[in-house]
Structure 1
């Protein structure tokens, strides 16, 4: 699901204190209503269900000024605040997904009020119902491949290398060996990423390719050379995880990280978006 491209009309109206934050959409069932009664949302605000077209959205109130266009920009630039909002958002989605099939909404999806959420559910009923049917009984697994040349042991200078010209030649040989080790690690990681895709697609029903993660987003040392997500029938999850987790055995400087199972964040959009470059997977 995509959030609103811009805050709705009247979003910055000073008379509007709260707006409606949407976490997930599912079929209108007692399970979602019961969840809304016992689980908090962002900033501990209570959840509530909003129905329309046979569907149910889990929502909560959030401050209009904080979630206006300017307020959202400030929150996204504050990593601690962004993490707090993301944790609350994902906690609701994961709890809902444990109860029934749901479509996760993007972080900070907001509407002016509940009436507009209900109208959205009615207008997009056919799309939502089709997606819910397609994702029934399936989960998302994330697969990341890393190259870390530093993990490859560098050759030690020969014991006979002495000061002067001999030491200089030994240093240059060591530097060339390190460069070759680095190149080998990246080549191996690229080949392993292709192999991981083959293994995953033998079980998966859909694939999403995301941008490699960098800096603080990367969860392991080295360079993230592949970052993908797969939609997998729940009963295939453990087998696929085991097959992927052993791919890097015996490949120094390369590692494979498998995350999930998650709610299908990468696949709760139109099919045309499944294989496009997007934001990072969980």
Structure 2
């Protein structure tokens, strides 16, 4: 295998077959590199793109970064379907197989400890959005033109009170939902709400949480989320997964990172 080594994840040896003709970054075939009872999932990548200098430049190119993140995620998703992977940071690159083996040896204790803790578990993501929380457009506001200054002030107070009531209801709903889901998960993590430009749909994100759930209990967890979707008018509940347990990996000592390039990389080749 020529070229640098791009490493997607570390896992234990497994017998289940991966999907046929699985490819990674740049369409390269994925290989398993076994060492010390662990497996690094790797593919070759060209130095022209992944040596230290060009990689740093590419990380400023959003199109390139997005394509690389999707290819990275495709491999991790395929692994998640058959085993428990420990995903590494986006663009984790080594010069050769020997560098990958050194990485496994240096992090072996942390890898094994984390894989033991996450074995048989997957991550589910849940987001809650307040629908229709945007400011009323100017044209709509003028359609109900107040008859006097007093009416204008009253309308402003009423709109402000409606917004406040809606946000309070959203906070209560999100808090209640998180408590219910966390009670049915082994672990949970609260992430910062996403900014509106980053969300795929309308509304303001008021809950952005991850839940660690045994794979065998995933169906019950999904049903629990489904039952909450219509509990509170004006709220949209979004469920994603199952994912590899990105949110429940301690990056210290493992080199593990977040999904899809959400965690910065140094751009260094080791």
For structure 2, the 5+ residue unaligned runs are 264-270
Secondary structure of the residue that 2:44 maps to in structure 1?
strand
Instruction: Note the aligned Cα RMSD (angstroms).
Output: 3.3
**Matches of residues 1-282 of structure 1 in structure 2 within 5 Å?**
18-31=3-16, 35=18, 38-150=21-133, 166-269=147-250
> How many residue pairs end up in the alignment?
254
For residues 176 and 253 of structure 2, what CA distance do their matches in structure 1 show?
Answer: 24
For residues 54 and 205 of structure 2, what CA distance do their matches in structure 1 show?
Answer: 31
Distance 1:132-1:221 versus aligned 2 partners, 3 A rule? same
For residues 52 and 151 of structure 2, what CA distance do their matches in structure 1 show?
Answer: 59
> Which runs of structure 1 show a deviation greater than 6 angstroms over 4 or more consecutive aligned residues?
151-154, 278-281
CA contact (8 A) 1:192 1:248 kept: no
CA contact (8 A) 2:35 2:104 kept: yes
TM-score, length basis structure 1: 0.77
For residues 239 and 63 of structure 1, what CA distance do their matches in structure 2 show?
Answer: 44
Distance 1:198-1:48 versus aligned 2 partners, 3 A rule? same
Distance 1:111-1:185 versus aligned 2 partners, 3 A rule? farther
Higher relative contact order (CA closer than 8 Å, sequence separation 6+): 2
For structure 1, the 5+ residue unaligned runs are 1-16
